[in-house]
């Protein structure tokens, strides 16, 4: 029989093992050896470490012998206890925590024995003493079921005494006329003690099983409700309902936002110490009451550890409750794990919904852009053609009319360029563009781009430095020309007239690195990647013409060629766009000999 002090010592050892990173378990079983072997089998363990008992009864087998009898394939290591270790059943003088003795239960067990004796007195002479003994044994069983082990032992001794005093001749005396009754007393006492012990043990196991079943049912209902939750507020409400029903404590759920700042969910009942909560979240460890970290706090804070990251903390107000035992702490840890998994599931549901909405929005926008571009190309081409026709009519337009026609013509060309950009962007993102990739020299592509931009370059000097050993590139010449045209147009828009633009290239391993530099104001700080998004411009309030599609088209074309593009600001001033293209393996130029 284990005392309350011994139970506290065992729980303290288990708590220390948990704090040191060990895994503990409480396994109910009739025999210790059976429980250890079953646990080892379930967890695929091959070695057991047990303490060596300081005392051993000759007629009882040791724990290691019992384990060997049930599983001879397990290695059992004995750890000797130090000589200064106190006896197992000794209790220090300063130990004050012990289970209170309920004297009313002992008084009730004595009263039940007395009532049994009074009820059996009229039966004396009617039934044999053996049957009367059965009545006393029945009383012991009832006491064990109702009051537990201690009162059942007392009932065993009181029942033997009352049976001897009132029923065994000579009556009303503890003297025994027949020596055979001594055997009856011993057997009755032994049977009563055994029955009381077994009954009390079964009662304790039944209560423990009922408690575990209730907790498991509570966790099951909680997990079922969490699986149907779609909002953080529902998770907090479910957690609060479970904790109030199981532990009768107030709680608060704190969830981390995108900036790792804890936000208290609506419906929180507990007053949270944000310092303790933030410490537990940053360290990923429990803190507050019942732990070794900030134990003066009235709250117990448990981190919510999910698969990918910490999702928040769970705070419990324990100011008006008893300390949480190890078994209940396990339930709380399980509750925290379920909450973390549910919060992470809701987070990824939100991410999936936002991604779906974004994809559908992009698809709808591309469809609209494609439709609008197709509808605008014909009237814009008509405006350009009509402006050209009017300029060539006879007699020639006047100077004022010629100026207006030039303005119309230039505006129509700009509009045509914008519509082409919209259409190209829609095609590239929809995957409708099929690359016509050929092995092309980079010099020709850059030369074609310079020729196409001759009207906007004016007297601007473009410096092109290409190495002589530059390999052929497997590219779509038309699309790559469009990339250089867009970059040159950007340089002309955002730099002063007459400032030079340089284009350089070099071979690095299996890649060709191309740099397009200008001497303008450079790229906006912190937006070096953002400017490659659709409809993004260097400055939102800029008066420079354009809708912010040129760089987005460049990136889409480079990605289609398995390349990359990025921008940065140069230290000496200006912007630099870096294009990286794979070299590839060009076809062999060796002529094939034909057979005669």
Q: Are residues 457 and 503 in the same domain?
A: yes
Give buried/exposed letters for 80-118 (b at 16+ CB in 10 A, else e).
eeeeeeeeeeeeeeeeeeeeeeeeebbebbbebbeebbe
Residue 567 belongs to a domain: yes
Block residue for tokens 């609209």? 368
| 501: containing domain | 438-582
In the prediction, which pLDDT does 593 show? Answer: 47
Segment 318-354, tens digit of pLDDT: 877 666 777 788 888 889 999 999 999 998 988 888 8
User: What CATH number is attached to the domain comprising 314?
Assistant: 3.30.450.40
Q: Are residues 238 and 337 in the same domain?
A: yes
The last residue of a domain, from among 79, 95, 128: 79
Strand partners for 79: 51
How far apart CA 403 and CA 393 sit, in angstroms, is 15
User: What CATH number is attached to the domain comprising 491?
Assistant: 3.30.565.10
Q: Are residues 174 and 278 in the same domain?
A: no
Q: Are residues 483 and 562 in the same domain?
A: yes
Residue 92 has pLDDT above 50, yes or no: no
Residue 14 belongs to a domain: yes
- Residue 571 DSSP SS3: coil
Residue 178 belongs to a domain: yes
Q: Are residues 565 and 479 in the same domain?
A: yes
Q: 337 or 387: whose pLDDT is higher?
A: 337
Q: Are residues 72 and 178 in the same domain?
A: no
Residue 592 belongs to a domain: no
Q: Are residues 33 and 149 in the same domain?
A: no
Q: Are residues 48 and 22 in the same domain?
A: yes
Q: Which of 523, 554, 548 is nearest to 536 (CA)?
A: 548
φ, ψ of residue 448 to 5 degrees: the values are -65, -40
Q: Are residues 316 and 404 in the same domain?
A: no
Q: Are residues 47 and 178 in the same domain?
A: no
Residue 97 belongs to a domain: no
Q: Are residues 475 and 345 in the same domain?
A: no
Domains identified in the chain, total number: 5
Residue 98 belongs to a domain: no
Average pLDDT on 214-232 reads 87
Segment 171-208, tens digit of pLDDT: 777 776 666 667 766 777 777 777 777 777 787 788 87
Tokens at 542, concatenated: 């800029």
- Confidence label for 89 from pLDDT (cuts 50, 70 and 90): very low
The last residue of a domain, from among 390, 408, 430: 430
Residue 90 belongs to a domain: no
Q: Are residues 550 and 455 in the same domain?
A: yes
Helices marked H in 92-175 — which ranges? 103-120, 129-147, 149-166
Residue 216 belongs to a domain: no
């Amino acid at each position: 029989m284990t005392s309350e002090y011994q139970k506290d010592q065992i729980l303290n050892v288990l708590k220390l093992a948990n704090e040191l990173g060990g895994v503990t378990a409480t396994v109910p079983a009739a025999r210790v050896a059976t429980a250890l072997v079953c646990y080892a089998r379930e967890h695929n363990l091959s070695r057991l470490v047990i303490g060596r008992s300081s005392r051993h009864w000759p007629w009882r087998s040791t724990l290691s012998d019992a384990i060997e009898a049930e599983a001879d394939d397990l290695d059992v290591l004995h750890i000797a206890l130090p000589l200064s270790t106190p006896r197992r059943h000794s209790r220090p003088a300063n130990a004050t925590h012990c289970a209170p003795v309920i004297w009313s239960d002992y008084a009730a067990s004595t009263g039940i024995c007395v009532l049994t004796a009074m009820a059996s007195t009229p039966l004396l002479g009617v039934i044999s003493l053996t049957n009367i003994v059965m009545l006393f044994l029945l009383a012991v069983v009832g006491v064990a079921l109702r009051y537990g082990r201690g009162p059942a032992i007392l009932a065993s001794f009181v029942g033997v005494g009352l049976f001897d005093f009132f029923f065994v001749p000579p009556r009303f005396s503890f003297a025994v006329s027949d020596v055979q009754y001594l055997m009856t007393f011993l057997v009755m006492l032994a049977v009563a003690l055994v029955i009381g012990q077994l009954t009390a043990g079964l009662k304790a196991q039944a209560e423990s099983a009922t408690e575990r079943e209730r907790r498991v049912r509570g966790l099951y209902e909680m997990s079922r409700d969490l699986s149907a939750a779609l909002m953080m507020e529902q998770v907090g409400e479910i957690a609060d309902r479970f904790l109030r029903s199981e532990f009768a404590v107030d709680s608060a759920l704190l969830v981390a936002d995108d900036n790792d700042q804890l936000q208290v969910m609506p419906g929180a009942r507990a007053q949270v110490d944000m310092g303790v909560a933030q410490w537990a979240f940053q360290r990923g460890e429990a803190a507050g009451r019942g732990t070794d970290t900030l134990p003066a706090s009235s709250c117990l804070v448990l981190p919510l550890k999910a698969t990918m990251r910490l999702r928040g903390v769970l705070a419990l107000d324990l100011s008006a409750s008893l300390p949480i035992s190890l078994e209940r702490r396990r339930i709380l840890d399980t509750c925290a794990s379920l909450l973390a998994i549910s919060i992470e599931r809701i987070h990824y549901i939100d991410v999936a919904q936002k991604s779906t909405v974004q994809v559908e929005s992009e698809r709808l926008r591309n469809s609209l852009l494609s439709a609008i571009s197709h509808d605008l190309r014909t009237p814009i081409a008509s405006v350009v053609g009509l402006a050209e026709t009017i300029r060539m009519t006879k007699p020639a337009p006047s100077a004022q009319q010629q100026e207006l026609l030039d303005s119309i013509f230039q505006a129509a060309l700009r509009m045509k360029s914008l519509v082409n950009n919209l259409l190209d962007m829609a095609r590239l993102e929809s995957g409708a563009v099929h690359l016509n990739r050929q092995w092309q020299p980079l010099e020709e592509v850059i030369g074609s781009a310079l020729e196409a931009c001759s009207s906007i370059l004016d007297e601007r000097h473009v410096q092109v430095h290409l190495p002589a050993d530059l390999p052929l590139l497997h590219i779509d010449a038309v699309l790559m020309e469009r990339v250089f045209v867009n970059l040159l147009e950007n340089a002309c828009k955002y730099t002063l007239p007459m400032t030079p633009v340089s284009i350089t290239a070099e071979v690095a391993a299996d890649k060709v690195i191309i740099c397009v530099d200008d001497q303008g104001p450079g790229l906006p700080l912190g937006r070096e990647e953002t400017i490659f998004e659709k409809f993004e411009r260097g400055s939102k309030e800029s008066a420079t013409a354009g809708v912010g599609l040129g760089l987005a088209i460049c990136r889409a074309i480079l990605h289609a060629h398995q390349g990359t593009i990025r921008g940065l600001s140069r230290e000496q001033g200006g912007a630099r766009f870096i294009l990286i293209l794979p070299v590839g393996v060009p076809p062999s130029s060796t002529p094939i000999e034909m057979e005669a």
